[in-house]
Structure 1
């Protein structure tokens, strides 16, 4: 049972790939700041910001699936909290190095390339840096956006939300124990039908998608779960139709980007669609990722989704700065630079993400796992059972995502 709970789920990794691709699509507008007809048309009908909700739901599912059994097998409170600290150590080594590295690079670039001004003002970036370090960037952005005083660490808001979840989750397990599912259901119900305008406190602390992910993990441990396996998705045709429809709904949910106000609780609807996708992926039946070409590509993107999520934002400003220095002074950047900007942005994003994955994420994640295993000694849990929730032994747990 433990081995099953810790092995990587390829379909979950593929979902992460779709989530980060949603984010890339949504942020094309910032690369092509002069405007683009295709982006405008997309905005009329879709919102790819919902990739963040998918990231959050995945995180809730993967974390709960990876650690709940270890918590339940702890023989006493002392062992429980040792497992909790081991869990937090893994999260710190998995999340913080990449996060702090790239927010620091943005801060440094705002000094080195201040003449181009694309990386923003140092003081505002320093304020964002503080929000990232304290894991409060989501609430910081609610305060600084109305005053237009935010720096260039926008995507870190969802990462702070995930980190808050990682910090509080063991406390929730400890307090509610066997009633954890009821508590998570209450978290979902309390938010599901709330109207949540962009960049309000409710919007940046939306935990219904995360709670639904936890509920999916709890449900997957019951007998009924296996009976609900959607085996019809083993057919390429039905799988393609179902997954495409759900991804379409995720992007086109009424009011998802606050452009359509007919449905005020669209954020809750997006969380539900995300949970359905995670439920399908949880069976690891190649329902999401399949094919000799598509599956390896999706798994590669999914395994590096955390790096891509953060680095693509740096690459936007690096692209603009690069062409500002390359082209003659006074050049007006417009539509004729579209292809050059997009290629520069994508190449920078994927090359730097691969380097970050190999030389920052992977070695430090493994180090965190080794430290966590040493901390687990004396808890009554087998040394081999307390595994890293990252890409090596389980599924990669970040986003927003992070988004």
Structure 2
């Protein structure tokens, strides 16, 4: 399969991570109420960026993994491909995740006069949950009951990593019935009341992303291409409209709360569907697209880093106030700019020094093992 990035997918990654960053401002960066944020949150909640990430992950992983596994002629080749997939995912995700778990734990000990990083005991337990990939279950157990720790965003990473571990096995077990199994998985969740446990194992957006990837190799996929979005700014307006609808659905003002998560998953999959054709429907080529693509390419690091960055700014503010020095406290815009600059700097360093070197090392290891086969090309959106 071609390694060419789909720019609209990168744009969606950027939107997803920016939404999560904005959602966590109140409570993680600002402990005192910010009236403007409260007014915005009353009408628009951007936490649905997590579900958009899930839909993107399902699509991106499935469009390469399913053809590769179905192209295997025997069980040995199947397990070699599966092992190679697991190795690439591990080298891609775990080094950065474990690094920032360790740094948050150190910050809890050495940079925590204000208590911004939480208690030692909660962070030790959260770090263990993050390393052992059960952070989502701990998050559900902790929800409104006890302190989780600084690494609470790792619940979604744990869910994705569980998906990466189990998905090759699901492909093997379901074989030709994979589509029906995924449709059943989505249908059951659409009409199920989401308890805290079901919220942290929600897989409807992931399954819809996988189904989209499978559909993208079928002849009918091209016939459904949204060509009307080629009109100037039509795609941008569609993106803004869907994002606004998703943000409203994520608030308490959305009256059909029982169907909230399923509806968000479906609309997230719609955005990924539009992006999948690789026609720059959602955002035309230009400076803004390049900026969003940069954010999208660093979105994993940004997601890991934003909470410790917010907490570090709070710690800095506390220390400056304690020393009677000028601090950004009382100036939300200044605080926001400092936190944003810190996130940009740290995510770029993480991308250059950790993410890319470890990703390349994983690819080199897979190549050295000498068991990787030529991946069966999936025509996907590029054939339209």
TM-score normalised by structure 2 residue count: 0.94
Secondary structure at the counterpart of residue 113 of structure 2: coil
| CA drift at 1:20 | 0.5
Deviations 1:175-213 (A, max 9, x none): 11122111111110110122225xx10000000000000
> Pick from 359, 362, 367: which aligns with 1:368?
362
Partner in structure 1 of residue 168 of structure 2: 170
Partner in structure 2 of residue 183 of structure 1: 181
Distance 1:261 1:348 in 2: 38
| CA drift at 1:150 | 1.3
| CA drift at 1:53 | 0.3
CA distance 1:373–1:117, change in 2 (3 Å): same
> Is 2:2 aligned against 1:8?
no
Alpha-carbon contact 1:11-1:284 (below 8 Å) kept? yes
CA distance 1:180–1:129, change in 2 (3 Å): same
Distance 2:239 2:165 in 1: 32
Partner in structure 2 of residue 242 of structure 1: 238
| Of 256-265 and 274-283, the range deviating more from structure 2 | 256-265
CA distance 1:277–1:373, change in 2 (3 Å): same
Q: What pairs with 1:19-34 in structure 2 (closer than 5 Å)?
A: 19-29=16-26, 30-34=28-32
CA distance 1:376–1:236, change in 2 (3 Å): farther
CA distance 1:332–1:270, change in 2 (3 Å): farther
Give unmatched runs, 5+ long, in structure 2.
378-384
Alpha-carbon contact 2:11-2:293 (below 8 Å) kept? yes
Partner in structure 2 of residue 43 of structure 1: 41
Deviations 1:282-334 (A, max 9, x none): 00000123242111101100000000011011101000111212233589989
Partner in structure 1 of residue 381 of structure 2: none
Alpha-carbon contact 2:329-2:335 (below 8 Å) kept? no
Secondary structure at the counterpart of residue 258 of structure 2: coil
> Is 2:295 aligned against 1:297?
no
Distance 1:77 1:236 in 2: 50
Alpha-carbon contact 1:188-1:207 (below 8 Å) kept? yes
| CA drift at 1:128 | 0.3
> Is 2:185 aligned against 1:192?
no
Alpha-carbon contact 1:36-1:335 (below 8 Å) kept? no
Distance 2:180 2:78 in 1: 21
| CA drift at 1:375 | 3.7
Q: What pairs with 1:119-268 in structure 2 (closer than 5 Å)?
A: 119-197=117-195, 200-253=196-249, 256-258=250-252, 260-268=254-262
Distance 1:271 1:123 in 2: 35
> Pick from 315, 337, 353: which aligns with 1:343?
337
> Is 2:266 aligned against 1:269?
no
Distance 1:170 1:52 in 2: 23
Distance 1:366 1:386 in 2: 21
* Pairwise CA RMSD: 2.0
CA distance 1:184–1:262, change in 2 (3 Å): closer
Secondary structure at the counterpart of residue 264 of structure 1: helix
Give unmatched runs, 5+ long, in structure 1.
388-403
Distance 2:199 2:252 in 1: 12
| CA drift at 1:242 | 1.1
Alpha-carbon contact 1:82-1:376 (below 8 Å) kept? no
Partner in structure 1 of residue 90 of structure 2: 92
Count of equivalent residues? 377
Distance 1:189 1:233 in 2: 29
Alpha-carbon contact 2:136-2:155 (below 8 Å) kept? yes
Deviations 1:148-178 (A, max 9, x none): 2311111111000000100000000011112
Partner in structure 1 of residue 306 of structure 2: 312
CA distance 1:281–1:61, change in 2 (3 Å): same
Distance 1:69 1:61 in 2: 13
Partner in structure 1 of residue 14 of structure 2: 17
Partner in structure 2 of residue 61 of structure 1: 59
